[in-house]
Amino acid sequence: MHLIEHKDTTRDTRFKPRIGHVLYRIPGIMWSSGLCWRSRHRPCKAIFHQRHSTRELFVTRRYSSSSIDEVTDDDRRRIYIHGSGNKGCFMAFCLATKPNPPPITLLVANRERIKAFEEEGKKIRIYTDGKWFESGGVDIELLEMRHGRAITEMSSGPASFDSISSQLRVTVTPEGREVSAKEAFGGECPPKPKASQRPIFNLITTIRSPQAARSMVEVQHRLGPDSTVIAMQDGLGVLEEVFGTCFPDPRTRPDFRLAFISHDARYQGKGLRIVWSGIGVCVIGPLADGSVSKVKGDRWRRTQHSQYLLDEVSSSPILDCREVDQRSSIVMRYRKLIIDAVIGPLATAYSCENKDLLSKPGAPEILEDLVTEAWAVMRHDVAGTYLQGVHN
């Protein structure tokens, strides 16, 4: 069964700024920001300063990697999915197979994944009910690696190949001899594809919790306060690390939403193929008040911008997505955490599936004790996190 791609030829105008509100500010903004004035009155190389209000960000939005002359309709509508594992591929498939799908781009850091994607005809395939289904209409983009020490060196300018080659090790020869990257490439810097510097207004991040903050560095420079990020990490405390690493200031932070899926979708390990063996739901909830900007009018504007991504995700018939309040979102995330941290390992110890635990000798008693202890720990950890305000 081929799922036919539907292209939406209409233009989405919901994100056009209210020019009248910012037009009179343009000369002052450009003068204080060091902007030049081109023909047709278009600013170039805009630099954001902390003293500007968020309303002025329509004019002075900063993209640290390069200047962007004009934000296009495709920029506003395109949904980027960070990560190409089971969650990333499943989300891309669900969005690409809905009527009038938005433009979709998978962000990956693995060249082999891109090669496999091209060999598969640039399609994502899902196996369910004994049949393979495929979806086109998905682009893929190789991210520029900006992890660890390299990002520190590159922050003030491009690091030379010589300065970092000694830190890189690659294994070559059948004997497994290790040589430096510089030696492996004959003293020359390996070819590097040109990375896209287009702004990201809609991002779904599916990177695993331990790597979430480090991976966010790869796209941080393309995000701004008018971007929306749906974080699909199961672990608690992930967003605190992301905020501390990449977005310490709530005023310039993208609008983050928490989400998780209970669909049983597993990566097959060849190309972009997923085995979908269990139907579930997708739940999206807001953050606590202390994690968002409190600038007057800012929350309303962010909500208007975020609604596009929420509508696109919610309209997928496969996902069965539900928007919930903060409390419901927290309860569901706790439930998922208990399943992963308590019930799953116990089922492994008994060599059975989760649903069969209650029939195993002694398992119900152990399960009750572990769940009770886990809940006590969770209630204790609520205070002082982005879960603050949920006390019971």
Residue with tokens 């640290």: 64
Tell me what pLDDT residue 375 has.
79
Residue 16 backbone dihedrals phi, psi, to 5 degrees: -65, 130
Q: Is residue 95 within 8 Å of 313, Cβ to Cβ? A: yes
Tell me what pLDDT residue 151 has.
35
Q: Return the CATH superfamily for domain 74-144+194-324.
A: NAD(P)-binding Rossmann-like Domain (3.40.50.720)
Q: Is residue 202 within 8 Å of 107, Cβ to Cβ? A: no
Beta-sheet pairing, 138-142 with 104-108: parallel
Tell me what pLDDT residue 302 has.
67
Vertex 25: Cα angle to 253 and 44 (nearest 5):
70
Residue with tokens 């690659």: 170
Tell me what pLDDT residue 121 has.
85
User: Which residues, in sequence order, are CB contacts of 278 under 8 Å at separation 6+?
Assistant: 262, 263, 264
Give the separation between CA 293 and CA 186, rounded to whole angstroms. Answer: 50
Each domain of the chain, given as residue ranges in start order, spans: 19-69, 74-144+194-324, 148-184, 330-381
One-letter amino acid for residue 299 of the chain: R
Cα dihedral angle (114, 118, 119, 124), rounded to 10 degrees? 90
Helix H or strand E encompassing 3: strand 2-3
DSSP 304: H
Contacts made by residues 294-300, CB under 8 angstroms, sequence distance 24+: 294/250, 295/53, 295/54, 295/251, 297/54, 297/55, 298/54, 298/225, 298/251
Give the separation between CA 37 and CA 95, rounded to whole angstroms. Answer: 40
Residues of the chain with pLDDT under 50: 1-67, 147-176, 179-182, 184-185, 188-193, 383-392
One-letter amino acid for residue 276 of the chain: W
Give the separation between CA 218 and CA 295, rounded to whole angstroms. Answer: 27
What are the Cα distances from residue 333, in Å, to 7, 312, 368?
35, 22, 19
Tell me what pLDDT residue 335 has.
82
Reported as a single tens digit per residue, the pLDDT across 19-67 is 343 333 433 433 333 333 333 333 333 333 333 333 333 333 344 334 4
Residue with tokens 């081109």: 38
Residue with tokens 């069965």: 320
Helix axes 363-381, 326-338, angle to 10 degrees: 140
Tell me what pLDDT residue 208 has.
85
Residue with tokens 């063996």: 277
Other C-beta atoms lying within 10 Å of the C-beta of residue 18:
10
